[in-house]
Structure 1
Amino acid sequence: MGRRPRLLALSLALSALLGLSAIATAQSAAADTEICDQYGSQAIAGGRYVVQNNRWGISEPQCISVTDRGFRVTRADGSTSTSGAPKSYPSVFLGCHYGTCTSNDVIGPNGLQASDPRFAQVRTSVSMTYPASGTYDAAYDIWFHRSRPSASTAQNDGAELMVWLNKAGPIQPIGSRVATVSLAGGTWDVWFGNTGWNVISYVRTQGTGSLDFNVKTFWDDVVARGYGSNAWYLTSIQAGFEPWVGGTGLAVTDFSVTTGSSPTTNPTTNPTTNPTTNPTTNPTTNPSGSCTASYALVGSWQGGFQATVTVKAGSAPVNGWTVRGTLPSGAGVQSLWNGRSSSAGSSLVVANEGYNGSLGAGASTTFGFVGSGPAPTSLALTCA
């Protein structure tokens, strides 16, 4: 959450003004391990990340203890109504936030356009611990700007992508729930609202204390729903907490953002309909015996479907693979991830990406796609 309340226009304007002084505060933050200044911050990991107190919703004190991998909330006075905005967003981030930028090789001071091939490689992970009481959410806050930003850009105008790992108490994201999807190894309720920029929140139906995912996994779903664009720029990746009541004991124990790792499977569901999960597999062995390709229908809706294909090496290593098959008449590939498609019409032809073409004996990789038209429950495939 940025330095502004999420619901009230008056508070929004006030926070924007406070953001000007926050820049100076962040730049002059002391090297102490505990931060109690309203917008105090401290760089960690050699400047790669910044930890920020970011108490924007109340006047009562809040303090955080900074570690080399994250932070812990040591004091969290005051409370706000659970029907309104939270007290704060203590967090750790990579990128640029209200003029404070980290030293990193991922986003840079002018953002990273979502259409840039490097965006597909942006991966983040976090581990958190939670207290036994309090009302809060534990969430990523990932920001996008509509045009190329500068390091001094304050409020992003494109999209605020929130990924709620966990929540406690009677709270909910901005807007209303529009769907439920399966992404990044979990099931998420999708919420959408607008506060001058699009706010898209993914709330995990079963809370977790850790998460590891590619940003593109969620962003592709945002774009498919019409809430964002691949022409927009990623500006920061933040992880922390929004407390309404209490909050002492909330902690980020580990946080990282990297590039170059193999992306996770990136399922994208129909924007308005939740697919029914009932995977059906149909392994087909390549005549040469070098690899197999197994099709699985993840879900379907009126006029479309989502599927995955698992490519598995045989008894010998595979250096490069291509999967071929024929979809039902009237079906086609709309979008695909973790592979390079040369599909046309009902012909399915997918080759490996650079990062997943080499498979050791018995190893496997997966690509997925969203199709239009009738959904096949099984599909004969060859792998070479």
Structure 2
Amino acid sequence: MFQRKKSEPFIADDKLHRATLRRLDEVVAPPACGTVLAEIDATVEAWLATLPSAPHILTVVLPPCDENAVVETWARQAGHQVLPPPSRQDLVAPEETVRPDLGGTGILVVPRLEDWFLRHRDGLRTVRALLSALDAVDRPVVVGCNGWAWAFLAKSAGAGALLPDPVTVRPFDAARLHGWFVSLAKAEATGSMRFRLPSTGEDVLAVDEQDTPRSDYLRRLAGRSLGIPWVAWHLWRRSLRTGDDETVADDARAVVTDGDASEQTMWVAALDEYLLPGTGDDATLHVLHALLVHGALTAAELALVLPGVGGFDMIPVLVRSGFVERRGEYLVCRAAAYPAIRDGLEAAGFPMGRV
């Protein structure tokens, strides 16, 4: 009972199963934005202290797949005015250009610059008008944008010339992920919680005397997620498993020596591997690139921004393979699949969403 071969896993995979959504929400609670809201708030406070000598616009460029709309969430929590975007039908209407109303006092926030354009021959007039108006407005402005949209607008609409150099969030390394995941686990109300590797029983969140994570798992997770907190959060949730019988608990108590035998355990499986289906298919890559640039798109909106008519037959494949998710009538890239999508687009020579 107390000995096992080195080649044998600590807990067999067939004794584990994916945690329920309710259980995951207890130990890895949403929203998946970590300390980003506080970081944005501190950045804005520091910028305001430099006015009027600094530019009156603060540009915040974030990674894609942000499901929590962190810039808008921050703005509404702080009580700032949020500029609503036009409908996408208005963006491509040939009759007239939408003229934004920028009147008012205090900080004006444009949470998602990507909502002000479509990659279409008639889809850039509104964002160009908005950028010119923001340049001339006499009030502080915070503009949010995802990195892929920013890369497109910097070349197609002169956003890089009209807006100041952007700032972004500090990447989440192993130490930041550790502090965040520990704080999420502490929100769980029923006793102590350990996160262990099924292969060795190692506690993933254990630290040494310098409060440095002992396990390499968080370093691998930080690298796989590219330091993006919401991507790391999704990968972390997807890796968590629970035991479905008492044998798991008995096996753990037999060999665990670094914790209370009554503690609760979540098992941390290997990180999911994503492989793009048909990586040589340009139409598939164009679909994924469009979803990164624009965020959520309907099938009709996707048809407007794609360079050709192909790619739609691959959408069911992308959904089944976990790269794309349907949310009602909208299609979005899954956050957990973003690193693989990014690698595929970079290998194919697509313009990258770098800050």
Give me the TM-score of the superposition, normalised by structure 1.
0.23
Structure holding more strand per residue: 1
Give the structure, 1 or 2, with the largest relative contact order (CA under 8 Å, sep 6 or more). Answer: 2
Give me the TM-score of the superposition, normalised by structure 2.
0.24
Structure holding more helix per residue: 2
